[in-house]
Structure 1
Amino acid sequence: MQKLNLQSIERVQDISPKSFKENYLKPQKPVVIEKGITDWPAYQKWNLDYMVEQAGEKVVPLYDDRPVRHDEGFNEPHARMKLNEYVDLLKNEPTKYRIFLWNILKEAPSLQNDFKYPNFGIRFLKTLPMLFFGGKDSYTFMHYDIDLANIFHFHFHGEKEVILFDQKQNDYLYKIPHSLIVREDIDFSNPDFEKWPALAKARGFKASLKHGEMLYMPEGYWHYMRYVTPGFSMSLRSIPRKPKNLAKAIYNIFIMRNYDNFMRKWKGQDWINYKNREAKKRTELKLKTT
């Protein structure tokens, strides 16, 4: 059976700021750091039960794997419930619901005492530590972040599988125009190469993250994440250092996003359907010319 062409992401136990900068940040290469946060209180304390103790009564935004609709705003949640109710759901039954971009400084400020910003010789956006939760077999669509940030993704409680692609693979991923995602009907855990033949040309990376491990995702990297077990992660981010990526981030935030929202309101679902058709059409055209 044909599979995606993925190489395992390099792993290290720990790393110095100099080594990280020279071997991963400058060349924009992903890495998993296995023991880099053992001195954090979060390493011992952070699990689902502890999250409930700290913020169980907070109402959280929930997302599932339904396709994008024209009448839903950018990152608009599909449901809401209290965190303690959501964690009960995670523990007791399969669910596609995920928590996405939950700002802990705003919603659960006590959690900031449990971690510190790593010394990697890079400036972090300290107002944006975000939590992500998911149930068994829930997943994120393949996407990249609107600001093309350097992302430091720390996983807790359970196991998560990750697939990454850099921006050089765009021609093969069935990227949706005026968007940050690819075709949502592609199953990256078991892709149909007859339906999506360009995927055979894509070259990417894979990793499995366990409790306390950190994944560095370079600027603009596409990422697909599937929860093998219920669990959660925290992301810290730093603005893109490459001028080209910073310019693209500004374009995405101030032009692309607003244009797409305008077209959704004007054309409705026809705009979404058009973009899906164009993603397949443009990718197949590129495939014929490469």
Structure 2
Amino acid sequence: MTEISSPDQVHGVAVAGSEPAQSQLNLGTLERHDDISPEDFYTKYFKPRRPVVFRSFSKAWPAREQWTLDYFREAHGDIMVPVYEEAFADSGAAYGASDDRMPFREYLDLIEAGPTRKRLFLFNIFKHAPELCGDFDFPRFAPKWARRHPFMFFGGQGSHVDAHFDVDMSHVFLTQFHGTKRVVLYGPEWSNHLYRHKFTVSHNVDLGNPDFDRYPRLADAKGYECILEDGDTVYMPSGYWHYVYYETGGFSLALRSPITGPAGRMHMLYRVLALTVGDYSMTKLLGQKRWYAKKEEMAQRKADRLP
């Protein structure tokens, strides 16, 4: 849900069948509200940074009725869209590059037909169709919004986005329109239990098929799980790890509230510099494979030292 330039920012690897192993992970169920006021939301969830699922976020949006697969196919089907697959995590010049481009309508036909690994990731359709911005607003559930950066996410049944947290440290409001997603969340306090790689916002753990022999401290991490259906919005606080699995083909819209205050901005700047300068420099120095192995080794050592 942030711009990416390397697999350690957001792995983004879509593999059919990588459904979160909720029976093995230590996951609680997120609280849900059909209707909550902006004032209550701020006090109970935004200020203390507690994730939650609620439905009042998008209740006034024309997009709720208008945005369907058929609508996008008919009104905007000629847009050429970047499609991502496994190669999204390749090294070298392929960092952040899409695997393919195709007309939007062909992609929508693909995800409607059945399981597929192909996804649209951080898709800013609003650059191509700015009139769509009139179909939603930025509700009073956050004090500030990144109004220039709404992003859409489309995926086929069985695809997933590997666990990561966003490098800009924004609060994310992810609203589901079509289809069903499973979202797994962990707070930033569990980063060492999740074996985070140095300088990055990601790790090597597959939450869809966790290897507890290799990553034993993962079992101690306490996270949350929710199922998103049409009309649901999940609030993901700044710094939260998130793993998304498409139970069916579908799409969602992410609105972002930037982190505020001097300390928050410094943290965001550190994360961006660590990723774009630190990780990139070490990759150039040691080579992709050697540096990746070193990060994995350091993550293992740090987890082994946990009390």
For 1:264 and 1:29, locate their aligned partners in 2 and report how far apart those are by CA, in whole Å. Answer: 35
Instruction: Tell whether the 8 Å contact from 2:57 to 2:141 is kept in structure 1 after alignment.
Output: no
Q: Gaps (5+ residues) in structure 2?
A: 1-20
Deviation of 1:74 (Å): 5.0
Q: Deviations over 1:125-178 (max 9, x none)?
A: 110010011100100010011111011111110100000011100111011112
Q: Deviations over 1:217-276 (max 9, x none)?
A: 101110000000000111111111364432121112234312322333343322233323
Please tell me the residue identity of whatever aligns with 2:203: V
For 2:104 and 2:176, locate their aligned partners in 1 and report how far apart those are by CA, in whole Å. Answer: 18
Q: Residue in 1 aligned with 2:46?
A: 25
Normalised by the length of structure 2, the TM-score is 0.86
* Alpha carbons of structure 1 residues 268 and 58: separation in structure 2 relative to 1, 3 Å: farther
Q: Residue in 2 aligned with 1:171?
A: 192
For 1:65 and 1:23, locate their aligned partners in 2 and report how far apart those are by CA, in whole Å. Answer: 39
For 2:53 and 2:47, locate their aligned partners in 1 and report how far apart those are by CA, in whole Å. Answer: 16
Q: Residue in 2 aligned with 1:161?
A: 182
* Range that drifts further, 274-283 or 230-239: 274-283
For 2:198 and 2:118, locate their aligned partners in 1 and report how far apart those are by CA, in whole Å. Answer: 26
For 2:260 and 2:31, locate their aligned partners in 1 and report how far apart those are by CA, in whole Å. Answer: 22
> Structure 2 matches for 1:42-191, cutoff 5 A?
42-66=63-87, 68-72=89-93, 74-183=95-204, 186-191=205-210
Q: Deviations over 1:184-228 (max 9, x none)?
A: xx3313423223211111011110000111111101110000000
Tell me which of 246, 270, 274 is aligned to 2:294. 274
Deviation of 1:115 (Å): 0.8
Pair 1:210 & 2:232 matched:
no
Instruction: Tell whether the 8 Å contact from 2:199 to 2:274 is kept in structure 1 after alignment.
Output: no
Normalised by the length of structure 1, the TM-score is 0.91
Deviation of 1:73 (Å): 5.5
Instruction: Tell whether the 8 Å contact from 1:71 to 1:268 is kept in structure 2 after alignment.
Output: no
For 2:236 and 2:35, locate their aligned partners in 1 and report how far apart those are by CA, in whole Å. Answer: 16
Instruction: Tell whether the 8 Å contact from 1:70 to 1:264 is kept in structure 2 after alignment.
Output: no
Deviation of 1:68 (Å): 3.1
Q: CA RMSD in A?
A: 2.0
Tell me which of 200, 210, 226 is aligned to 2:245. 226
Secondary structure (helix, strand or coil) at the match of 1:28 reads: coil
Q: Gaps (5+ residues) in structure 1?
A: none
Q: Deviations over 1:44-93 (max 9, x none)?
A: 11122222223211122222245733314653323322211211211224
For 2:77 and 2:283, locate their aligned partners in 1 and report how far apart those are by CA, in whole Å. Answer: 36
Instruction: Tell whether the 8 Å contact from 1:219 to 1:245 is kept in structure 2 after alignment.
Output: no
Q: How many residues align?
A: 285
Tell me which of 273, 276, 279 is aligned to 1:257. 276
Q: Residue in 2 aligned with 1:239?
A: 258
Deviation of 1:118 (Å): 0.8
Query: Any runs of at least 4 consecutive aligned residues in structure 1 with deviations exceeding 4 A, and if so which?
Result: none
